[in-house]
Amino acid sequence: MDLKPLISIIVPINQVERYLEKCLFSIMEQNYRNLEILLIDDGSTDRSVEICDDFAKKDSRFKVFHIENAGVANARNVGLANSTGDYIAFVDSDDYIASDYIQYLYHLLTKYNGQISACGQKNVDLTGKRLTPCTATEEVFEYSRKEALYNLLFNQKLNNSCWGKLFIKELFQDISYPAGHLYEDLATTYQLVAKADRIIYGDSEKYFYIQRPQSILNSKFSRLHMDSVYFSKELVTFMKENYPSFVLPAEYRLFAAAFEIVLKTKKDQADLNDCVAVAWSIIRKNRFKFIFYKSSAFDYRCLAFASIFGITFTRNIWNLWLSIKYRK
């Protein structure tokens, strides 16, 4: 009999038949066995439905929920509402995890008496080939709430993603993901961190994040992408009310979100000019502040400088850089 606590793993699923089996096998083969694996089929019309049901037949730990398509945030909320574990973990259905992913996160959480633990990620292509240099040190970092929030603002060791982390379930008592919106992690992770007393980061790559570069080059902006700006504004407000010394880093996140809006729009999307105008006004208001901000990333310093010469020049510089970076 396994006396370890039950851990719930929530997997939102939509149209991922190409990747799903590898993801679910990596969860099924975890060396931490006392798991509840909630597969939230978010209205898939491909073989994802069949794959989910097959895994539930193979392993009773898999629980499948077929729901109407309403987005990742809603799927995660369905998973949270139906989870019975003492701890919560998330895995995206087009990624996969190391066999000791859960055991590693649980060990960090219990050994260092934390409420959130996190691990490193390995960025890979569809064949599993590493895409970014390995910087893992195998070190363990213990953060207070305030230290973790600062770290989160700059995406240093901790990032906004809910995957790659293990949470005590109590943290979600008054927090849910914003259904119907994009950037759901940006809206919630800092709130979860702000409720935790200790956050533990282990610098070991246990989560395998599949990157598809062409999706970056070909992604098209929609009005929903403005959520990154809205949620960044909420982040600024939260810091003003609770951590005034972190207002500038939060404004930097808003500045970066505004650039994402400007750079993702295409010339033929004139109906979205109002969104671009909002984002560009944020950039114009803050660009000199963040050109000289010591914590600004190099690319944002360059973009801030380019913005002095106008929006067209800024987009051209960005597209040139992308074409070089992702040149086959």
All structural domains of the chain? 7-211 (3.90.550.10), 214-325 (no CATH)
* Exposure b/e, 51-90, CB count within 10 A at least 16 = b: bbeebbeeeebbbbbeeeeebbbbbbbbbbeebebebbbb
The Cα–Cα gap between 236 and 100 comes to: 37
What pTM does this model have?
Answer: 0.92
Q: Positive or negative CA dihedral for 238, 239, 241, 242?
A: positive
How open is the CA angle 44-49-54, to the nearest 5 degrees?
165
Residue 143 confidence (pLDDT): 97
Residue 137 confidence (pLDDT): 86
Q: Which whole number is the average pLDDT over 133-140? A: 86
Residue 1 confidence (pLDDT): 47
Bridge partners, residue 64, by sequence: 39
Residue 257 confidence (pLDDT): 95
Phi, psi of 273 (to 5 degrees): -60, -30
Task: With cut-offs at 50, 70 and 90, classify the pLDDT of residue 271.
Answer: confident
